[in-house]
Amino acid sequence: MILAITGGTGFVGSHLLDAALGAGHEVKALTRREQPERQGVTWIAGSLEDREAVRRLVIHADAVIHVAGVINAPDAAGFDQGNVAGTLAMLAAATAAGIHRFVHVSSLAAREPRLSLYGASKARAEELVQRFGLDWAIVRPPAVYGPGDRETLDLFKMAKAGMLLMPPAGRLSLIHVDDLAQLLLTLVGEVPANIVIEADDGRPTGWSHREFGRALGLAVGTRPLIMSSPALFLRLAARADQLFRRHRAKLTADRAAYFSHRDWVVDPKLGAPADLWRPQIDTLKGLSDTASWYRMNGWL
């Protein structure tokens, strides 16, 4: 197939691109910056705000996998531009090009739209996908980790240093980026349309924050002190992060609200049918391999 992929230069998208080429697909991928030539990949210069670039991305494609999105923005307008307007642009272009299959990468945060600006924007994007009349599939990943991920890197660094500050007591689900990529590729095939999938590593009831902290310690070879941070502390830490790192801050007030929620475990009723997809990567091994990648690349 010829797949039109957004977000192909990001963490999830780059792994998806590798998996697509490995499966024999051709890829058209949107990029803001010049990329090295790669066999099987046609880079389309532009952004989701560029109507002509989006048109060139989808023309002659068999399916769209929309990965691109904004996880950090200063205000609601920033999230809406990246997650809502960007999705609308892709839906409109896919419809005009006669593409029927549209795979959309959302987030578990969409289940709690009143909790964060990010979650609200992802929920609105999901509504657009469901109402546009295409054959759609929505995937809500939980916490995604794997080689090349900068979002969980700080947790690995804290575990290596011997002390982990975790969110308030709660539970979360995890998924390795390569398992997620395989699921997204599966969904462009002859599979049921109009489905919402919450996929994870297959661990029933997910991981408590303390269990996840211990798993991170095993990955980096330490037994870190694990401390649960009160929601108030996270809010104060978010203010400090924004004060010192400004637009580069990772812990914003919006993300502090998101992290403080106690239940980010996937709903088993929305799991992928077992005959369609199953996770292949054991999380303890996946975390260990990720730590090894960080070390080899000088990140850890």
Q: Is residue 90 part of a domain?
A: yes
Q: Is residue 21 part of a domain?
A: yes
Q: Is residue 209 part of a domain?
A: no
Q: Is residue 208 part of a domain?
A: no
Angstrom distance (rounded) from CA 119 to CA 274: 28
Q: Is residue 249 part of a domain?
A: no
Report the domain count for the chain.
1
Q: What is the mean pLDDT of the chain?
A: 92
Going by DSSP bridges, is the β-strand pair 101-105/135-139 parallel, antiparallel, or unpaired? parallel
What the block records as the tokens of 129 is 């996908």
Q: What is the pLDDT of residues 4-53, one digit of tens each?
A: 999 999 999 999 999 999 999 999 999 999 999 999 999 999 999 999 99
Q: What is the pLDDT of residues 92-113, one digit of tens each?
A: 999 999 999 999 999 999 999 9
Its domain, for residue 47, covers 2-145+173-202+265-279
Is residue 122 within 8 Å of 254, Cβ to Cβ? Answer: no
Q: Is residue 232 part of a domain?
A: no
φ, ψ for residue 52 (rounded to 5)?
-70, -40
Q: Which one, of 119, 115, 111, lies nearest residue 84 by Cα? A: 119
Q: Which one, of 183, 98, 106, 108, lies nearest residue 135 by Cα? A: 98
Q: Is residue 91 part of a domain?
A: yes
Q: Is residue 13 part of a domain?
A: yes
Distance (Å) of CA 20 to CA 136, 139, 175, 186:
19, 17, 18, 10
Angstrom distance (rounded) from CA 23 to CA 253: 40
Q: What is the pLDDT of residues 163-199, one digit of tens each?
A: 998 888 899 999 999 999 999 999 999 888 899 999 9
Q: Is the pLDDT of residue 227 over 60?
A: yes
**Residue 133, number of CB atoms within 10 A of its CB:** 10
What is the predicted pLDDT for the residue at 73? 87
**Surface-to-core class of residue 298, CB atoms within 10 Å of its CB (0-12 exposed, 13-18 middle, 19+ buried):** exposed
Name the pLDDT band for 258 (thresholds 50, 70, 90): confident
Q: Taking the complete model, does pTM exceed 0.75, yes or no? A: yes
Is residue 85 within 8 Å of 76, Cβ to Cβ? Answer: no
Q: Report percent pLDDT > 90 for the chain.
A: 82
Q: What is the CATH number of the domain that holds 92?
A: 3.40.50.720
Distance (Å) of CA 106 to CA 46, 68, 70:
22, 10, 11
Residue with tokens 């051709």: 26
Q: Which one, of 173, 147, 165, 168, lies nearest residue 267 by Cα? A: 173
